[in-house]
Amino acid sequence: MKKIQLLALAFLFMGATSVSNAQTADEILGNFFESTGGISKWQAVKGIKFEGNINIQGMEIPIEMIQTSEGKSMVKANFQGQNFFQNVFDGETLWGTNQMTMQAERSDTEATENYKKEMNDFPDPFLGYKEKGYTVELVGKETIEGTETFKIKLVKEPIMVDGKEEQDISFYYFDAENFVPIVVEREIKGGPAAGMVGQTKLSDYQEVGGLYFPHSITEGAKDQPGGQSISITHIELNPELDSAMFAFPENASSGEKKE
Amino acid sequence: MKKITFLSLLLFAFVLQLRAQNITLKGDELFGDLKARHIGPALMSGRINDIEMHPTNPRVMYIGAAGGGVWKSVDGGATFSPIFDKYVQSIGVVKLDPKKPDEVIWVGTGETWTRNSVSIGNGLYKSTDGGNNWVEIPGFEQSERIASIAINPNNTDEIYVGVLGALWSDNETRGVYKTTDGGKTWNKILYINPSTGAGDVIMDPKNPNVLYASMWEFRRTGWSFNSGGVNSGLYKSVDAGKTWNKIHNGFPAGKLGRIAIALAPSDSNILYSVLETEDKTKNGLWKSVDAGANWEHLNSDFGLVVRPFYFSRITIDPRNPDVILKAGLSGSISRDGGKTFKDLGNMHDDIHDISFHNNESDMMYCATDGGLYRSWNGGSTLEIVENLPLSQFYQISLDDATPYNIYGGLQDNGSWWGPNSAPGGVKPREWNRVGYGDGFRVLKHPTKNIVYSEMQGADNVWRYDVDKNKTKNIQPMEETGKPKLRFNWNAPMAISAHQPDRFFMGSQFLHKSEDMGDSWTIISPDLTTNDTTKQNQSSSGGLSMDNSGAENHTTIFTIAESPLDQNVIWVGTDDGIVQVTTDGGKTWDNVTPNLTGIPANTWVYHIEASVHGKGTAYAVFDGHTRGDFKAYALKTTDFGKTWSNIISEDIEKNAFVRNIQEDYENEDLLFLGTELGLYITIDGGKNWSKFTNNMPSVAVHFIDLHKGTNDLVMGTHGRGIIILDDISPLRQLNQEVLAKDVHFFDSEPFTMFEQSGFSGNFGGETQFVGQNRSNQARITYYLQKRHTFGKMTMEIQDMDGNKITTLSPSKSKGINVVNWNFTSKAPKMAEAKTLSYAGFSPLRVPAGIYKVLLTKGNDTYEQTIEVTYDESSLATLEERKEQERTARELFNMVEDLAYLVHEVTENEKSALMVIDEQPKGKKVAQQFYDALENLRKDLVITTGDNYVATAEPELRERMGELYANVVGSNDQVSGAQKQNYKLIAEEFEKAKQRYQEIMDKEGRKFLKYLENNEIEKPIILPKEEYLKT
């Protein structure tokens, strides 16, 4: 079952990756929004459904990710006829599928509360960051992926880690040439990799409905082997969604959950 | 996107212009995705200079390593992560801002326990975000060693910094500095002279205007050490550093050495100090109960007086002024206010710093020459932190085993060897000890299972027979009529590439043995300057004699036999002499006068005899023990008659050189080991690039290039063994390649290794485990620009263009690496209630040639790679082919079954719909459904879960298990597997027949019903289409 656990890990990472985000930090962010479709277009997005594959050598696992402006989210994979859910959130309850029983289980309260704080990050944490009380800072220029970038520090609402409040800091590296983020880094706060830096590489930006999204996302721990690549094959803006699909299935096993 | 298009156009024009010129990509832009890997080891860890506890959160702590950077723990010291890799790795002190301990960290660089092998720092650094980003604070560039930082807890913009300063030269940056604006501006507020630096600078936390500073006069040379002088002293200020007064009331007159000072946090009047004086009876611990006005001598036990330059640190229990810890050989603890002491419990020798836990005095942390230790019972029992890979190698060497082993010696941690890769990673238990004391050179016999190793000053040279587990001492010894032998602390040894039993050692003479060290012949005159003024080690140390052998001088330090001619041997000495013989030692040519740009007597740290010409060699020179940190490296092609400089401006200031490694194929490709990290040139030294991808700015003491794998292996002095796997793409870099948009590098055929042993990893939760070398096909290519917009994909195809698998390509500018594990796809599994492992077991490809297709936008780039079988395979070629055939047949069978289940399921769906909605057809549909469901229950699991509520395996599970077994096997298909195959194939045939019978009977009736009532037939996809879903 090792491989399945890896998958679960990848899903967890994805939950943290909203499809995001020069001079001054504000100028860089302004350029970013402008060159990816314009702020008003971004603000008009109410929901996004991503379809794609996780490529683990020899296996392409089809996945589906949904995020909405109301803060609802879902990651779903299907293998061998079984639906496997992760990071499903209806605004109140965060839940996912237990790999042993294939039943839905609630995440712990701390994880749920931390997840709730990300509800306002749709479709991008930088969108209206001041109103959200976030701070941004241009740390400087840095070469990453062989490319000159602007390194921007984003501080969001504090989160709880094993009962203690900690700052939620991430670093976005915006390509100095075209102002899209190509790498995002964030300290891993819990679990066996606590203290290491989680790294997300973004590429294959393509236009969907006038907005630019990365279609290739690689997640891993910085300077460690491994990591997961997600290839996005289709993006649907403002999809029609039944809000019941995000609710914790009280009586049904998630594996048999109807869509 | 208009802006971007416009920009790209502009850039395109710019790139066109550029192409006319030479492209000199440097550093991060060139190396792209090429990354170093770390294998530690951490089992002996390495020297730690300083510990810093978070003032309020006991989960968080930091250590500053002597040569391994700054590490942070967020789990109370169970595990650590490095946070200072971009900067110099020699650390003096780490200090947290008392008000903002989660954000503001100060790091003073440069180790302060001034042994012979210490590295250097280059200033003061500050992070304002918990260690994610750092800025260098101007003004301390020349500080070399910063010993202390004190911060006013009421106003954290007010900071004092104690600069110990240079070890090997005069230095005016020494002294105590103060800022009142958080580090923007600084004033030097206490300065004695260019040879006396600041050690401990502490503040009374209850009255931040009260400060104490210990000043130390000290100096080291390559051949001596002096601690003490009339300028050493203990000072106090009561006006926030405006004025200072000596507080020596009670101290003996005369010279003083290194002084430690500590204040009891629970009682500001109580101070303890450790002194080094001219009067041995007055050395050791002193106490003041009136805030330094008067002093009383308490104790001069060994633990209090031992090696003051190495152990002058006192820690007082924050809750009890009578509990005192003293750093030392074993570390000492007093519970009676310093009257008596006992040793701390067993741990690695040489304790440099000790910290109490925030809330609990029974818990403490000790920084030693062998890592960090924790105690839970007041220092009686100690356990080592197992994931700090701070090992300090002096030298490394390699063998030709698979996987190859790395041999090396460490500061105060003996000599070891271990594999570069092991099942589950390189774990502590993989390492084998082969020597005591300080370890230096360790060499494997070229053909026999014998390892040579040594300890400091060649006091012992061991020849270890690994198979017989027998050791013999073989060091050269004094002979009648010959002078006393002078061996360096780090004495050179070498084996011959031409005569496997030939073994060389260097004292002031070159010694040769033809029988693996059993007997020796001196084959040279004294090759050094033999300057007797540099041979008085017995009087070295200053106030406390310190004749450990570490200062032995006028000795041979490096020996290099030409790989092309056994009669050509090079020798370099620690006093700056380069000698060469071309007749096997009959005559020697001192070529030192021909060296260009090298100050006289600069240590010849390494000579590399080239494979590219008999007369070609590289020599690197290290002037750091003379206070000269410049990089020096020369090349000769005429046996040393002329030399050319191969150092460029690219090499940063103070990155003095310890080693050089040439590539065996491309003469212009060179690797330079400096005190501040690894540099690489692809043009023979005209331009150098610092390699920083997962490579800290650590002192690289020794480099070797493994011939079989092209791995570059570095012995670092603070971060263990670091490996840059397969550097062969660097050989192929040239202007033509750099000008291309995409270039695939050629590769040797890849072997599909068939090792399948077991690996347990108990303890891995908190142990450092070294990264393995990838055994996969390593596809490397160069991108002129990072791919960010549009699609970029990679596919493996067979030579007929059939897709084997999809890979996720790396997209960095520069060199990219993508691994392929030789598999194609896993079979599509029948849908069921549980998961079958077969669905995660892809087919492995047969040996042969494959195409790599990289598609980037509208362009496609192609490369072929060759894949071969493992020669050590258990299976013959014929058996291998049978295994591949059987695996393929089972793969198809698994997918056939999946399709059958699809047919069954779709028919069932249709039947259920009729049962629900068509009372007329219910009977027919129910009969059809029941028959199908009975069959489905025999085909796949329909109940239970993936753990202990699992149902009995059905045909899918049993077929899948057999498939996974066969596809995962590295041997011939077994008799049992064949029998099982037969059984499962028969069962599957029967199942298909059953399905057909159902379709002929119940199915026919049901379909007819549908037809008659104009209801849509079940939607059964064509097989090919189904398999794609």
| Residue B21 banded pLDDT, cuts 50, 70, 90 | low
- B498-535 burial, b if ≥16 CB within 10 A, otherwise e? eeebbbbbbbbbbbbbeebbeebebbbebbbbbeeebb
Q: What is the pLDDT of residue B26?
A: 77
Rounded Cα–Cα distance for residues B8 and A205 (Å): 15
| Residue B14 banded pLDDT, cuts 50, 70, 90 | very low
Q: Is the pLDDT of residue B947 over 80?
A: no
B441 in Cβ contact with B492 (< 8 Å) = yes
- Domain spans in chain A, listed from the N-terminal domain onward: 2-256
Q: Is the pLDDT of residue B261 over 50?
A: yes
Query: How far A259 CA sits from the closest chain B CA (Å)?
Result: 16
Residue B491 to residues B511, B524, B785, Cα–Cα distance (Å): 12, 16, 48
Q: Residue B937's CB: how many other CB atoms inside 10 A?
A: 13
Give me the residues of B, 347-376, that contact A with CB < 8 A.
none
Listing DSSP states for B419-446 in one string gives ES--TTSB-GGG-EE---SB----EE-S
Rounded Cα–Cα distance for residues A178 and A185 (Å): 19
Query: How far B410 CA sits from the closest chain A CA (Å)?
Result: 25
The model's pLDDT over B164-195, given as tens digits with 9 standing for 90+, comes to 999 999 999 999 999 999 999 999 999 999 99
B1003: which DSSP letter? Answer: I
Q: Which of B325, B372, B303, B435 is nearest to B47 (CA)?
A: B372
Any A CB within 8 A of B129 CB: yes
A116: which DSSP letter? Answer: H
Q: What is the pLDDT of residue A57?
A: 61
C-alpha distance across the termini of chain B, in Å: 35
B929: which DSSP letter? Answer: H
| Residue B970 banded pLDDT, cuts 50, 70, 90 | confident
| The two structure tokens encoding residue B402 | 């698979």
Query: How far B261 CA sits from the closest chain A CA (Å)?
Result: 34
Helices and strands, counts by H and E, chain B: 12, 66
Residues of chain A with pLDDT below 70 are 1-22, 57-58, 251-259
Q: What are phi and psi of B985, to 5 degrees?
A: -65, -40
At a CB cut-off of 8 Å and minimum separation 6, what does B425 contact? B759, B761, B764, B769, B770, B771, B772
The model's pLDDT over B636-693, given as tens digits with 9 standing for 90+, comes to 999 999 999 999 999 999 999 999 999 999 999 999 999 999 999 999 999 999 999 9
To test the contact with chain B by mutation, choose from A223, A235, A257 the residue with the greatest count of B C-beta atoms within 10 A, namely A223
Q: Is the pLDDT of residue B208 over 80?
A: yes
Contact B824 A58 (CB under 8 A): yes
| The two structure tokens encoding residue B8 | 């790209």
Ranges of H-type helices in B524-607: none
At a CB cut-off of 8 Å and minimum separation 6, what does A158 contact? A165, A166, A167, A168
Any B CB within 8 A of A178 CB: yes
Q: What is the pLDDT of residue B952?
A: 82
Rounded Cα–Cα distance for residues B94 and B72 (Å): 11
Rounded Cα–Cα distance for residues B586 and B574 (Å): 22
| Model confidence, pTM | 0.94
Listing DSSP states for B830-895 in one string gives PP-SS--GGGG-PPBPPSEEEEEEEEETTEEEEEEEEEEE-TT-SS-HHHHHHHHHHHHHHHHHHH
A64: left (phi over 0), alpha (psi -120 to 50) or beta: beta
The model's pLDDT over B445-499, given as tens digits with 9 standing for 90+, comes to 999 999 999 999 999 999 999 999 999 999 999 999 999 999 999 999 999 999 9
The model's pLDDT over B702-718, given as tens digits with 9 standing for 90+, comes to 999 999 999 999 999 99
Extended beta strands in B128-266, E state: 135-137, 146-151, 159-163, 175-179, 187-190, 196-204, 207-220, 225-227, 233-237, 245-246, 260-264
Q: What 3-state DSSP class applies to B34?
A: coil
Q: What is the pLDDT of residue B24?
A: 72
| Residue B837 banded pLDDT, cuts 50, 70, 90 | confident
Q: Give me the interface pTM, i.e. the ipTM.
A: 0.91
Q: What 3-state DSSP class applies to B269?
A: strand
Any A CB within 8 A of B807 CB: yes
Q: Which of A204, A117, A149 is nearest to A32 (CA)?
A: A149
Query: How far B749 CA sits from the closest chain A CA (Å)?
Result: 20
- Chain B residues close to A170, C-beta within 8 Å: none
Give all strands of the β-sheet with B777-783 in edge-to-edge order: B742-744, B777-783, B814-820
Which 3-state string (H, E, C) describes A160-204?
EECCEEEEEEEEEEEECCCCCEEEEEEECCCCCCCCCEEEEEEEE
Rounded Cα–Cα distance for residues B692 and A187 (Å): 20
Give all strands of the β-sheet with B603-609 in edge-to-edge order: B603-609, B617-622, B632-636, B644-645
Cα A98 from chain centroid (whole Å): 21
Q: Is the pLDDT of residue B270 over 70?
A: yes
Rounded Cα–Cα distance for residues B834 and B898 (Å): 14
Query: How far B932 CA sits from the closest chain A CA (Å)?
Result: 18
> What is the identity of the amino acid at B884?
E
CATH class assigned to A2-256: mainly beta
| The two structure tokens encoding residue A151 | 């390194």
Between B787, B806, B945, which is nearest A101 by CB? Answer: B945
Assess whether the previous peptide bond of B403 is cis (omega < 30° from 0).
Answer: yes
Q: Which of B268, B258, B304 is nearest to B288 (CA)?
A: B268
B601 in Cβ contact with B529 (< 8 Å) = yes
- Measured on CA atoms in the order A81, A87, A88, A93, is the torsion positive or negative? positive
Listing DSSP states for B800-819 in one string gives T--EEEEE-----SEEEEEE
The model's pLDDT over B855-907, given as tens digits with 9 standing for 90+, comes to 999 999 999 999 999 999 999 999 999 999 999 999 999 999 999 999 999 99
To test the contact with chain B by mutation, choose from A6, A51, A80 the residue with the greatest count of B C-beta atoms within 10 A, namely A80
* Interior angle at CA B89, CA B84 and CA B94, nearest 5: 65
Q: Which residue of B has its CA nearest to A103?
A: B945
Q: What is the pLDDT of residue B758?
A: 81
Between A57, A201, A207, which is nearest B821 by CB? Answer: A57
Give all strands of the β-sheet with B159-163 in edge-to-edge order: B146-151, B159-163, B175-179, B187-190
- Measured on CA atoms in the order B1009, B1011, B1013, B1017, is the torsion positive or negative? positive
C-alpha distance across the termini of chain A, in Å: 26
Percent of chain B, pLDDT > 70? 98
Q: What is the pLDDT of residue B100?
A: 97
Q: What 3-state DSSP class applies to A114?
A: helix
Cα Dmax for chain B: 119
Contact B29 A34 (CB under 8 A): no
Bridge partners, residue A235, by sequence: A50
A78 in Cβ contact with A255 (< 8 Å) = no
| Residue B616 banded pLDDT, cuts 50, 70, 90 | very high
| Residue B4 banded pLDDT, cuts 50, 70, 90 | very low
Any A CB within 8 A of B786 CB: yes
Q: Which of B78, B50, B79 is nearest to B63 (CA)?
A: B50
